[in-house]
Chain A
Amino acid sequence: MLNFKRIFIEAVIIVSVASVVAFTYNAFSANGIDPFKKVDDVPTVPSEKADDSHANGIVFIDIGKAKEFFNEGKPIIDARTAEAYREGHIPGAYLLDYYEMGRYMNKVLMHLSMDEDIMLYCSGYTCDDSELLARELYTMGFTKLYVYKGGFDEWEESGMPVEGGDGKAGGE
């Protein structure tokens, strides 16, 4: 006869031990996250309401504004994976893989100022890694963030310059 009370206690002990180990590991991991961070409170501004004075928050921009960023030499962040970055990226863009922020964040942040305009992109309209990364950066104090929703796919299809290789993959 199975003792279900005992089985349930065993399951609770396993989950409890796993939770303690998981949060401890997360606290010391380079890719650890703060589960209580309120990244969904970040204000966003749609592209048509964004003006040059720039409202505080994340602004969604189209390819026209993205071209301005590129031509003016403003900092651009590629939120995709290192593999996708090496296959092709917007020239001069920094690699900051959203899913491996701990690996790239410090290398990239040392080149950025909190009061300058920063554009972020990922692969295109179906991805939201650039927006998620922008929310993370906003919580760190960067307030002038522009997310190019068309992403690399639209950029490449528009015949804009593309660069392959490591580029600024190391944050150099």
Chain B
Amino acid sequence: MSPFFDWPLQASGDGTEERRRERFERMKTKDYIIIAARVALAAVFIYAALQKIGKPLAFADEIRMYHILDIGTPLYIMAIVLPWVELITGLCLLAGFFIRGSCLLLVALNTIFIIAVALRTHGIMADEGIPFFKVYFDCGCGFGATFAWRKLAEDSLFLALSLAILLAPTHSFVLNPWRD
């Protein structure tokens, strides 16, 4: 049996409190690391989303700076939808709902972000003739302007955390909608 609410120590009235208490007591350091990673990723993506929600034109303009999409329907749809994907993904990670699906999306998003930032950094280096460590721009991520190397390092860290959560054998504090 796999109850929908699978948070340790949660009283459900179905006789599984003891099993949950045992699980909580058996939680190891790696479980806490995974939970910390979930909270950290959730905080980052929820904050980033809130900076962009309600400002689709400004976000579209920032996306356009990457020269991947020009003005048009695909650009506007991305500017409208992407912040909400980030927000809902962050909320899912916090709640423990669809954790692996959320992390699959974060792996995909962070991979795309890394490629896009790297291409734009390369373009700025070529256009302005400045070295890699001096490339500085607003990536449109919701955190303002920063050095490209720092943004690439951050996105790589987020990618690693997303992969770690995605591939973790078990998760604690989950809401499991799959009845199996």
Contacts and interface: CB of A to CB of B under 8 A. Distances in A.
A19 interface: yes
Given A11-B104, A40-B72, A99-B61, A18 B54 contact: no
> Looking at chain A's contact residues, is the secondary structure mostly helix, strand, loop, or mixed?
helix
Nearest to A133: B57
A13 interface: yes
Contact of A18 (B57, B88, B104, B108): B88
B101 A22 contact: no
A13 B97 CA distance: 12
Q: Is the interface of B mostly helix, strand, loop or mixed?
A: helix
Contact of B98 (A13, A29, A36): A13
Contacts of B122: none
B83 interface: yes
A98 B57 CA distance: 8
A125 interface: no
Contacts of A11: 98, 101-102, 104-105, 108
A17 B71 CA distance: 25
Contacts, number: 95
Nearest to A99: B58
A109 interface: no
Contacts of B61: 99, 129, 132
A99 B101 contact: no
Given A35-B73, A99-B57, A99-B58, A18 B101 contact: no
A17 B89 CA distance: 10
Interface residues of B, number: 34
B54 A35 contact: no
B81 interface: yes
A8 B108 CA distance: 12
Contact of A35 (B70, B80, B104, B108): B80
A49 to B, nearest CB: 23
A21 B167 contact: no
A140 interface: no
A34 B159 CA distance: 33
A171 B140 CA distance: 29
Contacts of A98: 57
Given A26-B56, A31-B55, A21 B104 contact: no
Interface in B87-118: 87-89, 92, 98, 100-102, 104-105, 108
B80 A21 contact: no
B44 interface: no
B81 A22 contact: yes
Contacts of B166: 7
B76 interface: yes
A25 B53 CA distance: 9
A10 interface: yes
9 contacts: A13-B98, A14-B98, A15-B85, A22-B80, A23-B80, A25-B53, A25-B54, A33-B76, A100-B55
Interface of B: 53-58, 60-61, 70-73, 76-77, 79-81, 83-85, 87-89, 92, 98, 100-102, 104-105, 108, 166-167, 178
